[in-house]
Structure 1
Amino acid sequence: MKKLLPILIILICSINANAQKLTPPHFRGGNNAFHEFLNKNLKWPESVSGGEGIVTISFFVESDGRLTDVKVVKGMSDPFNKEALRVIKLSERWIPAMRDGHFIKSKYTVPIQFFTMQAVQVLDSTKVN
């Protein structure tokens, strides 16, 4: 019986681990579609002439794919934060997280990077050399 106990514990743990398999939420069409969506909709704030950085947005993806409680968790200046929030709120419904074959509510965090074309040119020139 003592030899069976470790086997039973391992078996129970592996069954429980499979039962808790979680598929995270994602933008319809995947990461490439999300990047295209951001590139198409994200605008440089008119009231700002310079600056670069990342605005981190968090939100819940509800079990029906709606985005709720969208907020800035780490921001830049107010115009950048507002623009990042605006674009995320434009997003269509996402594919919600799934656990045990059922859609569930889950929290998601996404960094949105703002950069100038000069920064892109500098990065591109460093790749060549």
Structure 2
Amino acid sequence: MNKIDNVYRYMCCLLFFVIVISQVIAQGNETGLKNDSITLENMFPTDREPEQFAQYPGGDVALLRFIKTNLNYPEQSRPFGTHGKVYVRFIVSENGDVKDPRIIRSPLDVYCNKEALRIIKIMPKWIPAKTNGANVPMKFVIPIEFIAPKKIK
């Protein structure tokens, strides 16, 4: 493949992610996921582009639901109303295991960072990336958003 084909494929993948994210937002408005505590914006592979990207089982909508279901706002952060995004990098290995999660950017406290890492560590196996028909490792970055719970008066 030439470079133009790779750029075209990459642009198609980005367009696909934008469409999926817009569908997730639309479905969220219908299913009570509005004001979700996570987003999939800026989810991108950070390695050289494989022929087939690694995928969460069930796709992006299932990943969004997994994170929403399992994410717990840290009790220690409640008094301060901490909110923002924690960017977590991890590797989907050749066999689909999620490995080496690391915080790459976070303006939040250590408790939110620990919770974001916990979520990534408990993820089920992914469908691995492929190049030339062989499974290959792939790096991902996912932003996990923490929104401070509203205080009840």
- Structure 1 length normalisation: TM-score? 0.73
Q: Do residues 96 (structure 1) and 124 (structure 2) align?
A: no
Q: What secondary structure sits across from 1:23 in the alignment?
A: coil
Q: Structure 1 stretches of 5 or more lacking a match? A: 1-11, 119-129
1:37 aligns with 2:83: no
Q: 1:83 to 1:21 in 2, by over 3 A?
A: closer
Q: CA deviation at 1:29?
A: 0.5
Q: How far did residue 116 of structure 1 move?
A: 3.2
Aligned positions of 1:1-129 closer than 5 A: 13=2, 22-49=51-78, 50-75=81-106, 76-118=108-150
Distance 1:31 1:111 in 2: 13
Q: Which runs of 5+ in 2 are unaligned?
A: 10-48
User: Separation in 1 of the partners of 2:135 and 2:76?
Assistant: 41
Percent of pairs identical after alignment?
30
8 Å Cα contact 2:93/2:138 also seen in 1: yes
| Distance (whole Å) between structure 2 residues aligned to residue 105 and residue 48 of structure 1 | 35
Rounded to whole Å, the distance in 1 between the matches of 2:50 and 2:113 is 34
Contact 1:25 1:108 (C-alpha < 8 Å) held by counterparts: no
3-state SS of the aligned residue for 1:107? Answer: strand
Structure 1 or 2: larger strand share?
A: 1
The one-letter amino acid paired with 1:63 is E
Counting matched residue pairs gives 105
Off by >6 Å, runs of 4+ in structure 1? none
RMSD: 2.2
One-letter code aligned to 1:58: R
